[in-house]
Structure 1
Amino acid sequence: MSIIIDYSQYTFEDLLDVKVNIDKDKYPENFNALMCELSKRDNELEQFNIETLEEAVVKKEIMKVSCSFKRVTGVLFFSFIVSIPVVLSAEPSTFKGLDRFYSTLILLMVGLPLLHSFRSGWTLSRSGIVTVTEDAFSFTIMQLFYGYVFCLTLLFTVARWS
């Protein structure tokens, strides 16, 4: 004999979690009680679906803004153009053994946060996490910084790799 659980004290999210994890064959009475409680909370279900849909729309908008073709090409083009004079004015030399490793490591260390900012819509800055929706100016400045260091390292690596 199984114990009947009172699901009226559960939050809506807990009820959905129980619905996914309950063994229907082993506890049919509890499953029926759970389904009755869920049917009583149809309004909460509708509100939950609306909130989930709104979150998905907001996330889609963030991705549309942070990963737009104009933004990606603008950041990379500006970073590339600004870093060319620095590379051309540097003293000519070549990378040797460990220098190649360091340049590749720096490319990864700066390129991955830049890629992450394009994909997720947030990045790290001096004042913490900056999102494209809350502070678009700081977000863009951080993308330009990461892009500049990435292009600078890439151009130095290409120019001196021999």
Structure 2
Amino acid sequence: MSTVDYSKYTLDELFDVRANIDKEAHPENYKALLIELDNRKEEVEALTEKKQEEFIFSIENRLKILGWLQLATSLGFAIVCIYSAFGTQTIVNVMICSVLAIFNGLAGYRLLTCKRYGFELSYINQIFQIVTINTGSFFFSYSGLGSFIVGIGNGVFVKFSVLSPGFGFFVGENSGQFSVGIDLVAIFFLIVLNSCNELGLLSKTDHKINSTPGRGEVD
């Protein structure tokens, strides 16, 4: 016979007991626990659904933040592009800034408005921002509106930037000493994007687009 009165437990306490109880050592208590959870089945389902909705809401908000950040990055590159066009920068630099402005704008807009390919474009955008590397003969760096880079060069270094999108690519000698860094901001947003994919939020978005009345084609 169970020695514990689980009817006085809250649902969170019951969940905690279920996760930690030794059902082999305390079979009667475990049986009583399952009975109590079954008696509160509707309450359990309501709480589980509420927590799932709160989690999804949190993830969706982070997704919106990424969308807005990409739009802001697009504006940043557009400003750099205009400045470069009237400055001493080469036509190649102007073209690169233009492409990055368009790419970030497209990725941000389609992600923010739940359009198709918004996820894919944003995913690619973040992947390219993960690694900053300088081998001495090869240099690559790409960052959005904000970055927090941890790396190894002449020792361990930490570098962060805010409101300063940038892109650098160089092949040739004397590009500096060896260094490699990882952007933790890019990794964070990749995790957010992957979480949305696992939760099925992206497939729901595609379904919403495809099932919109009066739409013969997908944007």
* TM-score, normalised via structure 2 length: 0.38
Task: Choose between structure 1 and 2: higher helix proportion.
Answer: 1
Q: Which has more strand, going by share of residues?
A: 2
The TM-score normalised by the length of structure 1 is 0.50
Q: Indicate the structure whose relative CO is greater, using CA pairs within 8 Å and at least 6 residues apart.
A: 1
